[in-house]
Structure 1
Amino acid sequence: MSQSPSTLPRRHFLALGGIAAGASILAAEPASATSAVSNDRVTLPGYAFTLGVASGDPAPDGVVLWTRLAPDPLALDGLGGMPDRAVDVRWEVAEDERFRRVVRRGVQRATARWGHSVHAEVHGLRPDRGYWYRFRVGDQVSPVGRTRTAPRPGTSLKSLTFAFASCQAYTDGYFTAFEHMAREDLDLVVHLGDYIYEGGGAGSIGRPHLPAVETFSLTDYRIRYAQYKLDPALRAAHAAAPWVVAPDDHDVENNWAGDHSQPDTEPDQDPAVFRLRRAAAYQAYYENLPLRASSMPRGPEMQVYRRLRFGDLLQLDVLDTRRFRDQQLTDPSLRWDPNRQMLGAKQEAWLLAGLRASTARWNVLGNQIFAMEADHTDGAPETFGMDTWDGYAAARQRLFEGVAARRVENFVIITGDAHRSVAADLKLDFADPGSRTVGTEFLGTSISSGGNGTDMDPLGVTWLAENPHMRFHNSQRGYQLCHLGRGEMRTDYRVVPFVNAPGAPVATRASVYVQSGRPGVAHVSD
């Protein structure tokens, strides 16, 4: 994205993260609703901003700013040590890191009903510009976050850089990858799900889940999010750039589909009971992430899929691949059933209409589970996973044929979930290597899930041998950097050698290139 005078190198920004504690605060506008506990009169039992700050869903004129008040974040009642009353929280946005040029300020009411979370939707900012923000309650000041607005739609851009990530099991490894991500010079971070893991257990690195049992209630999910967000690397990555987020399965329960619970610990769970669990999970997800009011859940329903535009360079369509899908098959021979849905008819139509109308150079789908075909068996017979798009092959075919029929240029899918990295050509007919390529998929590895990983494992060997459309594979931990230009897109697979201890370095394992106007992987540099 084009640079503005307010842009600082990321390492400079991180060094300034704590300066707000002693900075003066300008007077905030009064809250518009009936009075709660006044900002000036509130007294809390400890520091309120233990879970950090974040921003998200950038628009040309603003962003949503997030924090959650939690002086005792792991309190067993899930209320974070807050009193059961509303508290007014001041926020302000400035053009400089020392807040000498404050351009917007306001008050947001944090209520016990929503876990004392704050989602301040800021408007009136300049497009394509970096800003700093912070919050205040009483005499306490939050850490400083840095964010950036989107360019106006249609504005000509030379470049844009975003990272994408997923799958951060607290019990499997340290979040070192986020520590490195926070130092990158990013316009955006896209998180594709499994922000938390719902299971209990202590894992293998001495970081047990809290609560120690599987999460079911709102209290359970709130405590689990608080535990994850106490991680300093995760907080740093949130504070460094705006995020766009979407949940996957573990944010609710492993491999859930629509109103169906996974048949594991509760094989006969009534869908009505599962909807109660999903309502709790969705509420905790919203409470702990920088989402707009349009994504505020209503019971077991939540608006996840949405579209963001960045000048004339990027249209980002964020998908919901859990809520509207049919249940996973037990008979793989039915995976081509034309009636089976992954996105649901309404979301599928929304997506294809938006792709047809797009004027962006790059059309990117933020997708939770991989879309490419992946035969898991050496030789015959072929075997496929039923939770991925392979279990919904007819729905995938409709999508790819729709992309081809609408002549969608530079179609790219970014994906999480699989705890491994793959760059692949997306084919109209995966059985025919000579079939038309309609786009490219970048499957990204996990932050920590799965433990240390290796450069290559047996499944990776099989995948590359059995699936000629796969052009690169790695199974280490890390994140992905996507550099968009007018002539090409480059994805750098950034990996750490271990996650079972803190302090791992980061390196680029490979860079994968896509040329504008030529779908599929152009070449891999490793």
Structure 2
Amino acid sequence: MENNMDRRQFLKWGSFITVSVATTGLAGCGGGDDNPDPPEPDLFDFRHGVASGDPRPDSVVLWTRVEGDNGRRHVNVRLQVSTQEDFSTLVVNDLLRALPDWDYTLRTKVTGLNAATTYYYRFRVGSRFSPVGRTRTAPAAGTPLSQLKFAFVSCQDWSINHWAGMEELAQQDLDFIVHTGDYIYEAVADGAPVNLVESRHTPLSLPNGTTLPSGFRYATTLEDYRYLYKAYRSDARLQALHARFPMIAIWDDHEFSDDCWQDRQSYDADDDQTPQTARRRSANQAWFEYLPADVTLDVNNPSFQNIQIYRAFTFGNLATLLMTDERLYRADHLISEANAGGDVGSRFFIRRDTLKAAEDAKIAAAGGALTPVSMLGDAQRAWWQDRIGGAATTWKLWGNQVSLLRMQADLTEAIAELMVLRLIASNTALTPLRDQMETALTADLRAAVSSGTYPNNVAYANLRQLLSTQAGIDAANFDANIKPTLDSRLPPASLLATYVLNADQWDGYDAERRNLMAFLKTNNVRNVVALTGDIHAFFAGVVMDDYDAATPTPVMVDLVGAGLSSNTLMSTYKSVVDNDPRLAEIKALIYEEVSGAVVNTLNRTLQHFNPWMRYVETNVTGYAIVTLTPDRLNCAFHILKGLVDGNAPPQPATASVTTVEVPAGSAVVNVV
């Protein structure tokens, strides 16, 4: 089938996505054909590889980019698709055009395909062929399936760690890959390596960019964002992954700006008050150009919301997959950086009662509407409820950028524990009383704050009584030896509360989370599992209908993948507590130093204060592979090896695997 598309046809489809319709019985070209293409000099190549995405039962999106120089005119590119790896017969043999306005990228939606079928594809310019890609369409809706197997990944920073995990993933037997965001990172060290990173990833330097006080530069223009995608796609391991499997991708924050909302950035306390519409639109366009997604971009729409990337997929009778956009429509953080004076108190380490009061006030001011406290926005939330409520498949999967799991710490209890440990260090005879002492001191600190006697006149009544009856420490001994030690370690009263550790995730949008969980619970929607990224840690846990209820009810499961190549959650929080004097007293909740080595204590902290978290690993990188059957979901968290002498580790890249399992019919996750 010959389809020579002119510019009017490109414009007809909008956003310069072409559509090719598959047919049967076309003879293979073998490098030539009966209708020769318009001549193109051999100035072009396919150095950024090929990719496919958004597999549906009858279609898939194919992608490539031609590199070269022809004076800013279009380039004729031929697409060939076949069910045969040798292209002996073709189902598509179309002539397309790559345009300079879209950075010579091509996104072609091939329709009329057969369900659950493997296809091979390639592009040609002149006499040069692209690498061959392999893709597979989804099973038809309702088709009985015994298994579905896929990976989900996120957070692939060029400038940190290594990409050996991509090489390993490309060798797996998968149906597709889900990417939950942070495909690129917008801020770079501008030509100077500052992180431990494999030697083959040379430092990046943006064409334009804006300099931060840290010396980093962040992408600002369309040219900057295109530069980053081209740099990332130059890596042969990422190219091989794209060529091997179709990808279903969504963005998170770094495709535009760290911890962004709508068209606002958050690099400093005043940033989020200033619209960055041109920058946001540039980020939208570059993502559209470089990801093989079945979406449209309206360049004539002057808004930053000129693209819709939330969408749904169905795989037989086994799974529905919803991919949501949790950046473009979200409201500001409940407590803005401007009001908090920075990220601590706005996005990190916020008192739970302060956060709830701010949310309640915004809802009340809006007459009960969720709009000013929403992550999804009203239209997308209604779409989510309609699609997940109407899904006829066994499993409902949610491609979700930020974790739904409550991540909190009762700092009164935590600080009491740290103070008791210091007492025991100076009097080891008290060791058997540790748990009782922590309970007593926690009650004493709460009582002092409540009565207004904190910090100058803390009575320590419960601890006094315990040590008197159990350790023979009388009042005089307590006042002389115990009380001075305790008084010297009392933190600011503001720390004696329960803190939410990250309000950029769903903990900062709790009213909408409760609304979504109530919808699932009321409508008896079961077997809902979120596939999450962003946080640079592995979590597996249950999402409650209301985390603050006296007896919360589990509704769904959240599986959170660590960054494929990123820093870690523990290292991020270590930096926060090391650089904020207000948090000095809680460093031991994040890490300890033992014989000069940093020891991770964040894992224990999170599991202790968040019993819904069944698995926690906060200081690793990796990826996850999900095997889905009608009666269970099995998720294997692959923890990757570290750098070896400045290089990626040899294969296999996995150091260890932890597997969790979700049985069908209940919101339960077990470590197996």
Name the TM-score, length of structure 1 as normaliser. 0.87
Structure 2's unaligned 5+ residue stretches are 1-28, 207-215, 336-353, 364-369, 414-495, 572-597
Aligned mates of 1:310, 1:295 — CA distance in 2? 26
In the superposition, relative to structure 1, how do residues 28 and 151 fare at CA in structure 2: closer, same or farther (>3 Å)? farther
Aligned residue number for residue 648 of structure 2: 502
The CA deviation at 1:268 is 7.1
Aligned mates of 2:217, 2:67 — CA distance in 1? 22
Deviation per CA, 1:219-260: give whole Å up to 9, x if none: 111111111111111111111110011111110011111132
Aligned mates of 1:188, 1:233 — CA distance in 2? 16
Which has the larger share of helix?
Answer: 2
Deviation per CA, 1:20-68: give whole Å up to 9, x if none: xxx9235388xxxxxxxx944112435x210010000011112000011
The CA deviation at 1:302 is 1.2
The CA deviation at 1:507 is 4.5
Map 1:241-390 → 2, pairs under 5 A: 241-264=245-268, 267=271, 270-271=274-275, 274-294=276-296, 298=301, 300=304, 301-330=306-335, 332-333=355-356, 334-336=358-360, 337-338=362-363, 339=370, 340-376=373-409, 378=411, 379=413, 381-384=497-500, 385-390=502-507
Aligned residue number for residue 208 of structure 1: 203
Aligned mates of 1:296, 1:194 — CA distance in 2? 23
Aligned residue number for residue 399 of structure 1: 516
Q: Which amino acid aligns with 1:64?
A: V
Kept in 1: contact 2:159–2:188 (CA 8 A): no
Aligned mates of 1:197, 1:501 — CA distance in 2? 21
Structure 1's unaligned 5+ residue stretches are 1-22, 30-37, 72-80
Choose the corresponding residue for 1:481, options 625, 629, 635.
Answer: 625
Q: Which amino acid aligns with 1:286?
A: F
Q: CA RMSD in A?
A: 2.3
Choose the corresponding residue for 2:168, options 180, 184, 197.
Answer: 180
Percent of aligned pairs sharing the same letter: 32
Aligned mates of 1:420, 1:209 — CA distance in 2? 25
Q: Specify the structure having the higher radius of gyration (Cα).
A: 2
The CA deviation at 1:457 is 2.9
Deviation per CA, 1:281-313: give whole Å up to 9, x if none: 111111111022535665522111101111111
The CA deviation at 1:107 is 2.2
Deviation per CA, 1:159-206: give whole Å up to 9, x if none: 101111110111112211111111111111011111111112033236
Choose the corresponding residue for 1:223, options 212, 223, 227.
Answer: 227
Kept in 1: contact 2:295–2:308 (CA 8 A): no
* Corresponding position: 1:168 with 2:312: no
The CA deviation at 1:476 is 1.4
Aligned mates of 1:217, 1:84 — CA distance in 2? 19
Aligned residue number for residue 52 of structure 1: 49
Map 1:66-77 → 2, pairs under 5 A: 66-71=63-68
* Corresponding position: 1:444 with 2:561: yes
Kept in 2: contact 1:452–1:497 (CA 8 A): no
In the superposition, relative to structure 1, how do residues 144 and 290 fare at CA in structure 2: closer, same or farther (>3 Å)? same
Structure 1 runs of 4+ aligned residues shifted over 4 Å read 295-299, 451-456
SS in 2 for 1:346: helix
The CA deviation at 1:115 is 0.8
Aligned mates of 2:570, 2:497 — CA distance in 1? 27
Kept in 2: contact 1:452–1:498 (CA 8 A): no
Aligned residue number for residue 6 of structure 1: none
SS in 1 for 2:232: helix
Aligned mates of 2:89, 2:569 — CA distance in 1? 45
Name the TM-score, length of structure 2 as normaliser. 0.68
Aligned residue number for residue 17 of structure 1: none
Aligned mates of 1:87, 1:237 — CA distance in 2? 26
Aligned residue number for residue 43 of structure 1: 41
